[in-house]
Amino acid sequence: MRAVFEEPTVEGLARRVLAARSTGLPPLTRAPRGGGVGLPLSFAQQRLWFLTQYEPESPEYNIPQGFRIEGPLAPER
């Protein structure tokens, strides 16, 4: 998200995306499905599951926020 605000143009953001894509990481592959076995949870999912078990009625992850960005738009950059 930081890159969206650091790059003033779409061209600059596109350069960042292309640079991130060329990191040499292997391509994503689909995980096998079926057999009644669920997929493993990510660390973030595990944390949310734990917090829900620890404090089930907490609205901590359900509080919406709004942001107002003010200032001149400079499309000529």
Q: Does residue 11 surpass a pLDDT of 80? A: yes
Q: Which residue is listed with tokens 């404090």?
A: 55
Nearest partner of 5 among 69, 64, 62, 55, judged by Cα: 69
Find out whether 60 and 51 touch, Cβ atoms under 8 Å: yes
pLDDT of residue 54: 92
The span from the CA of 36 to the CA of 5, in Å, is: 44
pLDDT of residue 50: 92
For residues 6-25, average pLDDT? 83
Q: Does residue 46 surpass a pLDDT of 90? A: yes
Find out whether 13 and 3 touch, Cβ atoms under 8 Å: yes
- The chain-wide mean pLDDT, for the chain, equals 82
pLDDT of residue 77: 62
pTM of the model: 0.38
